[in-house]
Amino acid sequence: MTVRIFKRGIVLALCLLIAICPLFAQAEDFRDMFSNMEYEEEILKKYRYDEYERLYEHVVMEAWDVDDPNFATQSRAMQALHVVLTFDMEMQNGGVAQFFWNQGSACASLVPDMLREMGLDDVAALYEQFMQENQITLAEIDTYRERFPHMGEEFYSLHPFDDFDLAYVKIWAETNLNSRFLDYAEQHPEFYGVI
């Protein structure tokens, strides 16, 4: 919903700009603007952003956080989607470093198992390999907020976080992770009608 409103706002603003500033708005630019919007629409459809957004909002609103005792009372599907969508959201916003800093070891410890629950073995293997190669422990993750009150250069230089981020983005784009998340949700009755 927000994406649609945002895009409509951009289109209206650009149309207004074109109407007010005819010297700056050539017909070719106008055509390019709409061809780019069509491309964006294709991307939004390919990666099922509208459905993903509905699923994400549902899971965030309905699920208990991993450090809450009620987390264990939820269905395995809700647990998996909560952990994996939280991980994905952090990856899209700031990468694995931000995920570790924001979510701590409680969530970080569940990521590989929950990725495998959803059939995302390739991402789970990438995550475990990164943790192992860089000797990142759950105990270390829990020290990040205290040692680095602000995520700055010193924090980001601890490990090659960017290497993981790039590998994740590559898998995300090549295998359409959004669709894989949604396919998993569609297999579980508690998510019927959500997406």
| SS3 annotation, 147-159 | HCCCCCHHHHCCC
Domain ranges of the chain: 1-46, 63-191
User: Mean pLDDT by 10-residue block, N- to C-terminus, for the chain (195 residues)?
Assistant: 46 42 43 57 82 91 89 94 96 95 96 97 98 97 92 92 96 92 93 83
The pLDDT value recorded for residue 161 is: 96
pLDDT at 37: 61
CB atoms within 10 A of CB 52: 20
Which pLDDT score is estimated for 24? Answer: 40
Encoded tokens for 89: 């959201």
Question: For residues 117 and 106, what is the distance between their CA atoms, to the nearest angstrom?
Answer: 17
pTM of the model: 0.77
Copy the structure tokens of residue 73. 């009372």
User: Residue 48: its pLDDT value, please?
Assistant: 86
